[in-house]
Chains A and B, each alone.
Chain A
Amino acid sequence: MIEIKNLSKTYGKFTALHPLNLEIEEGTVFGFVGQNGAGKSTTFSILSTLLAPTSGTALINGIDIMKKPKEVRKQLGYMPDFFGVYDQLKAEEYLDFYGASYGIAASDRDKLIPQLLELVNLSHKRNDYVDLLSRGMKQRLCLARSLIHDPKVLILDEPASGLDPRARIEMREILKELKSMGKTILISSHILPELAEMCDVIGILDHGKLVAQGSVSAIQQQLQSEKIIMVKTLDIAKTIAFLEENPRITKIELLEEKNGIQFLFKGKEKDQQELLKTAILNEIPIISFSEMESNLEDVFMEITKEVEFS
């Protein structure tokens, strides 16, 4: 559905986006993670035909953004990270204006608008002035606006930023519903655990470079060479002595409150199995042996730290 080919953007000597190559299948929810200035909004702006790239191109549903930008606009709904509203328009009129801007006939708009307001739980606010709506409601209204022409692709730049927890959950539920409707969604967020929950695939951007891409678990496996392992044992001293002999193990920590030991293990799953086997053969009184699941934030921090140092 989305094919990005060598897309780059430079401003003078500053490179906002290094050549980016990416393919996103239809119906996928793709999450872009990155710090401020990582290149997420630049990528989204280019895909939305708001910014001309320095080189490369992208195809949205097979249509080249460089050759047929107007056709591309029919295919996508865009929600920017920061957006304003027209003060004296009512919620219903707001959607009507954008519906007309997409060339939707008035009779069709009359049917569509109540459905969209229903989808974003704003039916009760249809006659309220947009500027009087809360931030969360405005975000939802903007999402409804981006859906008015029934686009195949949705580009949502930080849709949950600045929202309170309740509004964030509401937004997440709506996005889940859109995912179930088969929309291809490109979403960026700083709230990484939410992305992990919603996205099928994640791309980590750092300083304009895509440093990792794949499912959350794949990224974790691909990039985390060192695993955090926690062991619960009946003999702490003996266990620590055993672990210290293993060259693959570093940073052994005693977790007193959990009656366990935590350490970093460098190796593959086979090496991990070998470690457990040796421990049992050496009569180490292990109660439990588990790999700690690092969350997306840990991975993100680790990856972006690596890039910064390199």
Chain B
Amino acid sequence: MKTLFLNPVLNKELKLRFRTGKTFVGLLFYLLALSLLMIAFMYIQSGTNSMGFFKPEYSRMMFMLFSFFQVALILFITPGLTAGVVSSERERQTLNILLTTTQSSFSIIIGKLLSSISYLILLVIASLPLYSFVFIFGGISPGQLVQVFFFSLFTMIVIGSIGVLFSTIIRKTIVSMVSTYSVVLFIGGGTAIISFILYQLADINATAIPKEAPAVYFSAMLNPGLVLAEIFEPAVSEQVKEITGIKFPIWIAHIITYMVVIILSLMFSIRKLRPNMRKGK
């Protein structure tokens, strides 16, 4: 942990990021947008009943809406923050100098990943007091809030690792960004579409009653939206079990799969950052 805080790349990147006013303006606008969304939601919901009160169910709905909004935001912003961390250094001609230092490839890659997602972490942490508003009205447990926070953090690291990988192996930042966004599009939308198609196919070919579609499980477990929905509605989990016939909790499969993705992406990035002098080319 000590070495993490002594990571020169992380220290330098944080210094550079928080030196400009843009960072704080961005944070301000994000919190303003979130606040306005919250106020608008509360206004609309309280206006739908004659008494003008805000029901705990609404509070729960608001929390879910915000959580999905935040995860969508992570999926949208993380590639932009991470897919150029190495390639942009290469384009600015600062990478070679950095690579001739004695800093390890591990330290450089981890420093780059953490510094690039640090801004998003700040956005999520800064929005926690707004999320906590739901406790005034009830409907959400503190555990669920913590779960959503860690799930957001996990998703950030997954997308960030993929972004760093592409940034390391692809020389051009623009190509790296397009590649990372394509993967994110697949994770966010592609897996949902594939799951739906597989389910429909299973429905057509079903001979047994109740029909089971285990293939759906393997595409659905990659979808962060589904896992997020499971945090709020345990019934989602039961439904998945019913459809796929697989009893293994889908959120655990999600975490394991993406842990493997994180580890492989970072390992590959670390290996590819510097040439393998022993192997030669």
B182 contacts partner chain A, Cβ-Cβ < 8 Å: no
Chain A residue numbers with a CB within 8 Å of B92 are 84
Within 8 A of A (CB), among B57-104: 92-94, 96-104
Please name all residues of chain A whose beta carbon is closer than 8 Å to the beta carbon of B102 when the two chains form the complex: 70, 73-74, 101-103, 149
The A contact surface, by secondary structure, is loop
A-B contact pairs, 24 of them (CB 8 A): A48-B96, A49-B99, A49-B275, A50-B99, A50-B275, A52-B281, A54-B281, A70-B104, A78-B100, A80-B97, A82-B93, A84-B92, A88-B19, A88-B20, A89-B16, A100-B6, A100-B8, A101-B8, A101-B9, A101-B98, A101-B102, A102-B101, A102-B103, A142-B97
Residue in chain B with minimal CB distance to A78 = B100
- Given the interface pairs A78-B97, A80-B93, A102-B101, the reply to whether A49 lies near B277 with Cβ below 8 Å is yes
Does any Cβ of A come within 8 Å of B15's Cβ?
Answer: yes
Partner of B15, one of A69, A83, A93, A102: A93
Q: Is the CB of A51 within 8 A of B93?
A: no
Near B by CB (< 8 A), chain A positions 36-74 give: 45, 48-55, 65-67, 69-70, 73-74
Name the contact of B100 in the complex, choosing from A53, A55, A76, A93 (C-beta under 8 A): A76
Q: What are the residues of chain A within 8 A of B247 when measuring CB–CB? A: none
Interface size class of B (residues with CB under 8 A): 20 to 34
Closest-CB distance, A70 to chain B (whole angstroms): 6
Chain A interface (Cβ < 8 Å from any Cβ of B) = 45, 48-55, 65-67, 69-70, 73-74, 76, 78, 80, 82-86, 88-89, 93, 97-98, 100-103, 142, 145, 149
Q: A97-B12, A101-B8 are contacts. A85–B278 as well, Cβ < 8 Å?
A: no
Contact B100 A73 (CB under 8 A): yes
Whether B281 contacts A98 by the Cβ 8 Å rule is no
Which residues of B have CB within 8 Å of A78? Answer: 96-97, 100
Number of A-B pairs whose CB atoms are under 8 Å? 88
Pick the residue among A66, A70, A89, A102 that contacts B12 (CB under 8 A). Answer: A89
Cβ contact within 8 Å between B97 and A66: no
In the complex, chain B residues whose CB is within 8 Å of the CB of A55: 280
Question: Do B279 and A50 touch across chains, with their CB atoms under 8 A apart?
Answer: no
* Residues of chain B whose beta carbon lies under 8 Å from any beta carbon of chain A: 6, 8-9, 11-12, 15-16, 19-20, 92-94, 96-104, 274-281
CA distance A55 to B279 in the complex (A): 10
Within 8 Å by CB of A101, from B19, B103, B278, B280, lies B103
Known A52-B281, A102-B101; judge A86-B275 contact (CB<8 A): no
How many whole Å from B271's CB to the nearest CB in chain A? 13
Q: When A100-B8, A101-B8 are in contact, do A49 and B97 touch as well, CB less than 8 Å?
A: no
Q: In the assembled complex, which residues on chain B have CB atoms less than 8 Å from the CB atom of A88?
A: 16, 19-20
Q: How far is the CB of B173 from chain A (nearest CB, A)?
A: 14
